[in-house]
């Protein structure tokens, strides 16, 4: 039987990803990336934990200044991240 250029079309769709399975093993079975929702929840948990650490038996307030400023910077980063994610590309 002679070979022809007309082969049957495959019904499977090729998955186009920009992730190399050699670098990220989980890309081979379909998931590769990070969970934005889990990262946001963990970030807000850390902010609350940092603010909770200000309660205690501190004599000076140097620790409180560092804890509150670090929590504020982290909260600002989380807010900016959530706002920039909503902007369509």
pLDDT category, 36, cuts 50, 70, 90? Answer: confident
Structure tokens at 60: 């000076």
Residue 21 near residue 27 (C-beta atoms within 8 A): yes
Burial call 61-72: b when 16+ CB within 10 Å, e when fewer: eeeeeebeeebe
Query: pTM of whole model > 0.85?
Result: no
What mean pLDDT comes out for the span 48-61? 89
Give the side-chain half-sphere CA count within 13 A for 88: 0
pLDDT category, 73, cuts 50, 70, 90? Answer: very high
pLDDT category, 45, cuts 50, 70, 90? Answer: very high
pLDDT tens digits for range 17-28: 566 666 666 666
What mean pLDDT comes out for the span 58-81? 93
- Work out the end-to-end distance of the chain between its first and last CA atoms, rounded to an integer number of angstroms: 52
Q: What pLDDT score was predicted for residue 86?
A: 78
């Amino acid at each position: 039987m002679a070979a022809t250029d007309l082969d049957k079309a495959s019904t499977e769709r090729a998955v186009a990803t920009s992730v190399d399975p050699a670098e990220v093993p989980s890309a081979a079975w379909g998931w590769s990336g990070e969970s934005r929702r889990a990262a946001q929840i963990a970030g807000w948990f850390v902010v609350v934990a940092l603010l909770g650490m200000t309660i205690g038996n501190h004599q000076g307030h140097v620790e409180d200044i560092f804890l509150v400023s670090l929590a504020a910077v982290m909260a600002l980063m989380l807010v900016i991240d959530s706002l920039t994610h909503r902007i369509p590309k």
